[in-house]
Amino acid sequence: MKDFSVIVLCYNSNKAAMEKTLDSIICQKGVDLEIVFADDASANDCLKEATDYLDSKGFAGYKVCAHKENVGTVKNISDALSYAEGKYLKCIGAGDMLFSEDTLAKVKKHLRDEKSAMCFGKMQAYYMEDDKVKFMTLTVPQDIKAHIDGNVKRVKMNTIVHHGWIAGASMFYVTEVFKNYLQDIVGTVRYCEDLLQVNLLLAGERITCLNKAVMYYEYGSGISTNAGNGNSSRMKKDHDKYWKMMENDFRGNKLIKKGKVMHQLMYIEDLKKRLINIMFKNPGYFFMSMRTKRQKKVYEIKEKGMLQ
């Protein structure tokens, strides 16, 4: 069995962005890994470009799961999992990068030592400006100290009720755990596989924070930080379906009821009305936000990675 399966998501991916991502994977030290390409019916040649690039680098440890029709992120990952042989799992999109050469080795040790089902770490956001790399600090998830301190009760409130989400790009899983829970949302959720964190928390699975930088995140390229191209509408539809499903599956669960209310509040278009409604119906959201501001230094990344 491999240590890690890294599922590389392809959908009309940019060649240069894909090569940066692949370079960050194949340079990993201290782990035995494989790459599984999951192509969601790309209209360009990004899949061939990616495999040709690995061939040129002499890396043969990859597999391909290619769809002829677009199936969405969740089904794309689900189908690719049938090819995955690693004990641990990372899903990554073109443009995002593992932070350093020993990232997967650190994650492997953390998951094993902490007996976690899923872990996450800090992300260094970056973007290109005038052909130069610019960095920015991400305060994700909100109230990260709750995760660092292992305050499960507060983590559940922050995540399920206040929607202080862990970023999907920062997540690493035990493969079999991910497979099992992903089946709960396949067919309902199309794009937002990171909603799975709610299912894991409700089931009592152990989610832990590796308090180190683990990822470079290309800000503005993902569905959550790029509202254009219909991404905002797609996310809303996914969340609508997800919370309806969860309300049916967890009838009477107070966290889910409150989480669904928060979902509805977050999509009130008028900002003033949205904030007033949240203040009266979910005031804990603002306390989470205040804790996040006080933790500003905790989010800072001082380690040097591949882009620095």
For residue 84, give every residue at least 6 positions away whose Cβ sits within 8 Å of its Cβ, in sequence order, or none: 5, 7, 34, 36, 175
SS3 readout for the chain: CEEEEEEEEECCCCHHHHHHHHHHHHCCCCCCEEEEEEECCCCCCHHHHHHHHHHHCCCCCEEEEECCCCCCHHHHHHHHHHHCCEEEEEEEECCCEECCCCHHHHHHHHHHHHCCCEEEEEEEEEEEECCEEEEEECCCCCCHHHHHCCCHHHHHHHHHHCCCCCCHHHEEEEHHHHHHHHCCCECCECCCHHHHHHHHHHCCCCEEEEEEEEEEEECCCCCCCCCCCCHHHHHHHHHHHHHHHHHHHCCCCHHHHHHHHHHHHHCCCCHHHHHHHHHHHCCHHHHHHHHHHHCHHHHCCCCCCCCC
Residue-level pLDDT at 221: 61
CA angle 202, 168, 189 (to 5 degrees): 65
**Could you read off the pLDDT tens digit of each residue along the chain, which spans 308 residues?**
999 999 999 999 999 999 999 999 999 999 999 999 999 999 999 999 999 999 999 999 999 999 999 999 999 999 999 999 999 999 999 999 999 999 999 999 999 999 999 999 999 999 999 989 999 999 999 999 999 999 999 999 999 999 999 999 999 999 999 999 999 999 999 999 999 999 999 999 999 999 999 999 999 765 555 545 557 889 999 999 999 999 999 999 999 999 999 999 999 999 999 999 999 999 999 999 999 999 999 999 999 999 98
What is d(CA 305, CA 88) in angstroms, rounded to the nearest whole number?
Answer: 22
pTM of the entire predicted model: 0.95
Residue-level pLDDT at 232: 85
Contact present, 96 and 217 (Cβ < 8 Å)? yes
